[in-house]
Amino acid sequence: MVSLAVGTVCMKVAGRESGSICCVVKPIDKTFIMVTGPKLVTGIKRRRCNIEHLEPTEIKLEIKEDATDEEIIEAYKKANVITKFNLKLPSAGEMKAEKTKVQANPEKRETRKESKDKKTEEKK
Amino acid sequence: MRAKMRVKRRTPSGKILFHQRRERPSHAKCANCKSQLHGISRKIPSEFKKLSASEKGPERPYGGYLCSSCTRELFREKARGV
């Protein structure tokens, strides 16, 4: 699978979100890339996704790496992705609610590896 | 009438009796490649009513209808057709 460039709009073909649209935000390594829907527009949250589960479309967005959701929504409008896939734009209230929710519990959860390392340090 | 399966059961009085039970239906099959679908239990419809929605099949689009590889091809063509 060719590695996807930042900003390519692709469709998720596997999993419960298959069939919905997302755009590449940041490459992670050979098999994984960071992808976001954003959640309110297409239902795919900002998550790490396997390249194999994505199918690129020809549409490309001009966004910098690790762009925020607002920039992506603007780029969607410019590349008229909204009309092509007839997506529904979230209202301002939903955007605010989403923002406060994200600040309440940050995305980064402590993975099992980190908690394990912490335990070994305490033992020393 | 579908042939009923006869199953030996020991009753509380100690006797062994034949109980009747309906045969289990065959595996669910994918609509276009006719392969077996994963995640769908082989139960008679009356037992399906007791199950919750998530126990009846995968929650993917076309979950209980197409197998996973068929849905992937379907959405890949849809993405290419754009």
- Whether B53 is covered by a domain: the verdict is yes
Task: Provide the mean pLDDT of chain A.
Answer: 82
Tell me whether residue B19 is in a domain.
no
**Residue A1, pLDDT above cutoff 60:** no
pLDDT > 90? residue B10: yes
Question: What mean pLDDT do residues A53-65 have?
Answer: 88
Q: Does any domain span residue B18?
A: no
Range of the domain at B47: 25-80
Check residue B61 and report its DSSP letter: T
Classify residue B67: in a domain, yes or no.
Answer: yes
Residue B40 lies in a domain: yes
Q: How many domains does chain B have?
A: 1
Q: Is some CB atom of chain B closer than 8 A to the CB atom of A58? A: yes
Among B69, B75, B77, pick the best mutation site for testing chain A contact (most A Cβ within 10 A): B75
Residues 6+ apart with CB under 8 A from A17: A43, A44
Please report residues of B whose CB lies closer than 8 A to that of A60. Answer: none
Residue A41 CB contacts under 8 Å (≥ 6 apart), including other chains: A73, A76, A82, A87, A88, A89, A90
The verdict on a CB contact (< 8 Å) between B75 and A11 is yes
**Structure confidence at residue B82 (pLDDT):** 67
Decide if A81 contacts A28 (C-beta within 8 A).
no
pLDDT digits (tens, 9 = 90+) for B51-70: 998 888 899 999 889 999 99
Rounded Cα distance between B51 and B45, Å, is 10
- B45 inside domain: yes
Q: How far apart are CA A48 and CA A107, in angstroms?
A: 12
Confidence of residue A70 (pLDDT cuts 50, 70, 90): confident
A33: three-class secondary structure by DSSP: strand
A86 touches chain B (CB under 8 A): no
Asked if B59's CB is within 8 angstroms of A16's CB, the reply is yes
pLDDT at B14: 92
Q: pTM for this one?
A: 0.73
The domains found in chain A, sorted by start residue, are 8-89 (2.30.30.30)
- Per the domain annotation, does B57 fall within a domain? yes
Q: For residue A16, give both structure tokens.
A: 């419960």
pLDDT for residue A106:
58
* Residue B68 contacts A where some CB pair is shorter than 8 Å: yes
Give me the pLDDT at residue B36, please: 92
- Single-letter amino acid code for the residue at A64: K
Chain B contact for A56 (CB, 8 A cutoff): yes
pLDDT of residue B15 exceeding 90: yes
Checking phi first, is residue B14 left (phi over 0); if not, alpha (psi -120 to 50) or beta? Answer: left
